[in-house]
Amino acid sequence: MGLGAEQAACAVKAAAAKQGFDACGMADAGPVDPDDRFGAWLARGFHADMDWLARTKELRQDARRKLPGARSVVVVARNYYAERPAAPDGAGRVSRYAWGRDYHRVLRKPLRRLADRISQMGDHVRCYCCVDTGPVMEREWAVRAGVGWPGKNGLVLREDLGSWFFLGVILTTLQLAPDRPAASRCGTCQRCLEACPTGALVAPGVLDARRCISYLTIENRGTIPRAIEARLGDWVFGCDVCQEVCPWNRKARQTSQRDFLPREGQAFLDLDALARMDHAAFDERFAGTPIRRATYHGMLRNAGIVRRFGRDEG
């Protein structure tokens, strides 16, 4: 006989803490986007050329399509914050999440161990887990599960972690007592919208990826629009501006996961050294890090733009 929904939920949270996660919440599975806001976002072309988002729209909007029989969604958070090292001359800035080991690799095993524990809590329990690579709207589920509230920068916020955390999601056929959805605590603050260098935040919580520095320097495989090139500042991989200005990130605490701490020379990249790398050297230098996602040619493109326009000291 399995545990009751309340007991099982408590057991899942205890197991999540044991695996090192900083927060854990759960929600009833089902439609997570009943107003089709995701469809409206896609219709406006805000996903740029990330066509896989449109192809998996229905899967993302209802967890039961991905895992038939799913009854609950478990969401966990893992803090990755670390202090930024001093900037050397002639370097390009890297988004904080990419300073260490690839977070997919770091979180995969503890998330699977948590899923295995959930599978043991009842008869014939099935689970599906992912760290932002599966067709799951993890940020919407995080809000529904009470892990955090929806920030105006499109990220999830918590009082204790700000927005500096990764999310992991487990869909399960086990019935778990749901948590109360998180209410927004952003108030009238608009700092993230006002600070975005390219105006990519077109409304609270609405991001136009075609103008987003993170998208353009990482996912974009083509050229970067000339009108935006000069606004990259010194960002050679990603962008943290909308997080850095957020008041909820002022008291962020350092991560306890050593794999997320900055590797030497990875919070800022030497632009001259990057320009001299061949493909093999690039793959060796950034093996096992998120930076490889941008590809060798993409990083050379980014470095060339930053070198051309110079560092933004602001």
**Residue pLDDT, tens place only, 43-97:** 999 999 999 999 999 999 999 999 999 999 999 999 999 999 998 998 999 999 9
pLDDT score for 1: 52
- Whether the pLDDT of residue 314 is over 50: the answer is no
pLDDT tens by residue, 215-271? 999 999 999 999 999 999 999 999 999 999 999 999 899 999 999 999 999 999 999
Catalytic center residues: 132
Of 283, 257, 262, nearest in space to 106 by CA: 257
pLDDT score for 3: 81
| Whether 40 contacts 142, CB under 8 Å | no
pTM above 0.75, yes or no: yes
Domain extents in the chain: 5-85+99-172, 191-309
Q: For the chain, report the end-to-end CA distance as a whole number of angstroms.
A: 61
pLDDT tens by residue, 94-116? 999 999 999 999 999 999 999 99
| Mean pLDDT along residues 262-290 | 96
b or e along 31-55 (b: 16 or more beta carbons within 10 Å of the residue's beta carbon)?
A: ebbeeeebeebbeeebbbeeeebee
| Mean pLDDT along residues 192-214 | 98
| CB neighbour class for 83 (10 Å; exposed up to 12, middle 13-18, buried from 19) | exposed
- Return d(Cα 230, Cα 214) in angstroms, integer: 15
How long a stretch of residues is the chain? 314
